[in-house]
Chain A
């Protein structure tokens, strides 16, 4: 199996890893870099639990080849603890009770970060459209949308 060494920034920290060429960024983040906040849900881009930011843009890390991270900035949910907007969203999720089982939460928070950066004051419909790539199997969407709305008003 062909290995490739890549250098990238993971939540602000310069990182070098060696990965099999066909490995996904999700597997790399969880199993090589050891950050398990990013979740494996479906593995085919349907559920959004694995959402990360690559150079500040949200993607499904399960659909991203780890080698594509070479030379780029990767931000996971752990990295949002150092980010004012990320912290605001996390607090709003806690305050609104937007977390049920919690499995979709990291992806929801990262995607909410993307949404509010692009559209700082979204309507509820824009919030719904913004998170349409994120599934909550507990179906707790109303409180998730409440939380994102609250974060946008702070």
Chain B
């Protein structure tokens, strides 16, 4: 076990991925809001080098690129919530951000960090999943910068575990601009609104046209080792009219398809009940307001 004995703060993406490739044993620092307490508690061990990526301009900023909004990995939750493009096209991320920890943590924590931290309860993950987001990854295995992208659900492997390769950096998350008639909801349930880790969270999105719900995406947080797609719930809703029978069937499908554990925040039984009741409530709200 080698102790932390090196600190670097690269000032370009190129420099960062070259150093990641050469040094191998690197802990990445962005906002620090998870790394600091997790390392203090011994849940995360520092590798030999601490790389502070906050001086890399390519990882900042929010821009429209074609039919997508590109959110740089270093964007803080506060910056995301305040950005005009996000407010106009992705209001779900604004309302989800509003339930994220506290003002101080929103000012420091980054979108890329929340994704790489890969908590099953990560507050941006479920909303990003129902928005159809993908992650953009960069590395430099040889002379050329290699970039790849991956749909967000595929990125998560387990609590704190992702498909990010050791010499790879998450550079941005890309979110398609939603089509006309798009509606989306995110609900987080915990014991207090601020600074709480969700007992469960639910995201629902889709296109409502002529009373029918289509292109449905459902995701659940804190009911599995990773945020998960609610595929059976999607199927129960796809192409249907949001009437009482459809909503009841979807809520039942949601309850049946999640397999949560019991822990300090809630029992498995309670989580399944909450998934049922909250899915129902969200769908009733969508149906009543459109």
Contacts and interface: CB of A to CB of B under 8 A. Distances in A.
Interface of A: 1-2, 4, 21-22, 24, 43-46, 48, 51, 57-60, 62-65, 67-68, 70, 111, 114-115, 129-130, 132-134
A47 B77 CA distance: 19
A2 B4 contact: yes
Contact of A48 (B50, B78, B102): B102
Nearest to B105: A45
Contacts of A129: 103
B85 interface: no
B195 A133 contact: yes
Contact of B33 (A1, A51, A60, A114): A60
Interface of B: 3-7, 9, 29, 31-33, 35-37, 39-41, 46, 50, 52, 54, 78, 101-105, 107-108, 193-195
A63 B52 contact: no
A2 B105 contact: no
A48 B102 CA distance: 9
B36 A21 contact: no
B103 A2 contact: no
Given A59-B107, A59-B108, A63-B36, A2 B7 contact: yes
Given A63-B37, A133-B103, A133-B105, A68 B4 contact: no
B37 A44 contact: yes
Nearest to A48: B104
Contacts of A46: 195
25 contacts: A2-B7, A4-B7, A21-B4, A45-B33, A45-B101, A48-B102, A48-B104, A57-B78, A58-B104, A59-B107, A60-B33, A63-B32, A63-B36, A63-B37, A63-B105, A64-B36, A65-B32, A65-B50, A68-B29, A111-B104, A130-B103, A132-B195, A133-B102, A133-B104, A133-B195
